[in-house]
Amino acid sequence: MSRHDPTAQPENPGRATFLRWVGGAAVGSVLAPVARAVEAGAPGDRVLTGTDPADGRSRHTGRFPQPAVAAGVMARRPIGATGETLPVIGCGTYRTFDIDDADRSERVAVVRTLVDAGGSVIDSSPMYGSAERVVGDVLAASGLRDQVFVATKVWTRGREQGIAQMEASMRALQVSRVDLMQIHNLVDWRTQLKTLQDWKASGRIRYLGITHYTPGAHDDLIAVMREVQIDAVQLNYAANDRAAEQRLLPFAAERGVAVIVNQPFGGGGLLRQLSNKPLPGFAAELQCENWAQLLLKFVIAHPAVTCAIPGTSSARHMQSNAQAGFGPPIDRAMAQRIAQAVRSAA
């Protein structure tokens, strides 16, 4: 393991934290029904029931098996009711892994640093130029294939084109099975979903999901989740981009859908805005050495969030980012303080 906080409490935030989050007016009025969530079911499970925030009629339940708490390892969150958990910090590859040079050593170091810290999720897409090929080369060169949860996407129209693209992705990634295949930006989602369901049934993919990157698409993501059962939704969420709190995050939680957060640094722009700005005094309390760690703490503080995937090309940044997955979980009041500090500084 690389550097981490030995006092870490890698627990799922649990019902108390969830209710603290969803109960406050500042989070958004549509969350009020979720605040009536009750806990039931097997000991150790967190089961949420509530009224659909969209229509006030149908009820949803979500079961969240609580992962074992262990000291000194990165926090993990469940993938719905599967019993499988994912570490809260992963790595994105948009731009950062889209490189042509033969020297992959820094990207090998990024992935090794992620895995050494207890992380595993790497997210890519055929949209990201050479990124899938670079990830495939890195996994082969490092021998870390079995320790990485590989997520990629299908981003095209048409059944045959989708199949061809996903097969090309698997060749590029040098895998016979993808852990999570997502429909990128919901492109031709009905068509691609059928293939994903078939591939999941035959074991070519383990989980299926959908993604988007803008608040304007959140209603579309909710509409898909209402219509079909998916395993994971990937969405934009950051301390200065909080629209997902209104409906999407609570809805995913109620449905037992894992949430992967893209652009936790606003695509990098938010971090650039914050560079040279002094850290708030409470950063030390949270064992945060920089704004990047505070921004990640904010994102993973939301109990509906399973994993954040900051993109990076730098092993040093990866190590710093991974540290946000250690240390005591923070509550909503502290998350609000982070958002306020970001507002004041950015």
Output the CA angle 165-168-172, nearest 5 degrees.
135
Spatial distance between the Cα atoms of 98 and 240, rounded to a whole number of angstroms: 27
Which range touches ligand NAP (CB under 6 A), out of 17-25, 29-37, 221-229, 257-265?
Answer: 257-265
Helix axes 315-323, 105-116, angle to 10 degrees: 20
Q: Which residues contact 336 (CB under 8 A, 6 or more apart)?
A: 26
- Figure out which of the listed residues 13, 62, 65, 92 binds ligand NAP, where binding follows CB under 6 A: 92
- CB of 306: closest distance to ligand NAP in angstroms? 14
The tokens of 153 are what?
């996407």
Separation of alpha carbons 17 and 2, rounded Å: 29
Q: Give yes or no for residue 326 binding ligand NAP (CB under 6 A).
A: no
Q: Is position 298 an interface residue for ligand NAP (rule: CB under 6 A)? A: no
| Least distance to ligand NAP, CB of residue 167, Å | 20
Q: Does 292 bind ligand NAP (CB under 6 A)?
A: yes
Q: How far is the CB of 180 from ligand NAP (least distance, A)?
A: 12
Q: Closest Cα partner for 27 from 299, 285, 332?
A: 332
In the chain, alpha helices (H)? 14-23, 105-116, 131-142, 159-173, 189-202, 218-227, 248-255, 269-274, 291-301, 315-323, 332-345
Stretch that binds ligand NAP, among 9-17, 45-53, 88-96, 113-121 (CB under 6 A): 88-96
Among the listed residues 113, 152, 312, 323, the single contact to ligand NAP using CB under 6 A: 312
Span 5-64, contacts to ligand NAP by CB under 6 A: none
Among residues 113, 169, 234, 306, the one that binds ligand NAP under rule CB under 6 A: 234
Q: Under the criterion CB under 6 A, does residue 271 sit at the interface with ligand NAP?
A: yes
266 binds ligand NAP (CB under 6 A): yes
The separation between CA 87 and the C-alpha centre of its own chain, rounded to angstroms, equals: 9
Give the residue with the Cβ less far from ligand NAP, 81 or 279: 279
Is there a contact between 60 and 37 (Cβ–Cβ < 8 Å)?
A: no
Find the shortest distance in angstroms from Cβ 310 to ligand NAP. 4
Query: Contact region for ligand NAP (CB under 6 A) — 54-62, 74-82, 112-120, 260-268?
Result: 260-268
How many other C-beta atoms are found inside a 10 Å radius of the C-beta of residue 343?
Answer: 10
The Cα–Cα gap between 226 and 326 comes to: 33
List, in sequence order, every residue forming a beta bridge with 154; answer none if it has no partner: 183
Provide, rounded to whole angstroms, the least separation between the CB of residue 290 and ligand NAP: 7
Question: Does position 165 bind ligand NAP by CB under 6 A?
Answer: no
**Is residue 192 part of the contact set for ligand NAP (CB under 6 A)?**
no
- 195 lies in the binding site for ligand NAP (CB under 6 A): no
Which residue matches tokens 């640093």?
113
For 308, half-sphere exposure in the C-beta direction (CA atoms, 13 angstrom radius) is 32
The site map against ligand NAP for 99-138 (x = CB under 6 A) is: ------------------------x---------------
Q: Which is nearer to ligand NAP, 41 or 268 (CB)?
A: 268
Structure tokens at 96: 């950062």
Tell me which residues in 205-224 interact with ligand NAP (CB under 6 A): 211-213
- Does the protein bind ligand NAP through residue 306 (CB under 6 A)? no
* Total of residues contacting ligand NAP (CB under 6 A): 29
Q: Which two tokens stand for residue 65?
A: 């098996």
Tokens of 142: 């490092």
3-class DSSP assignment, residue 113: helix
Place of tokens 């989050």: 21
Compare residues 96 and 169 and give the one whose CB is closer to ligand NAP. Answer: 96
Q: 59, 50 in Cβ contact below 8 A? A: yes
Footprint of ligand NAP on this chain (CB under 6 A)?
92-94, 96, 123, 184-185, 211-213, 234, 262-268, 271, 292, 309-314, 317, 320-321
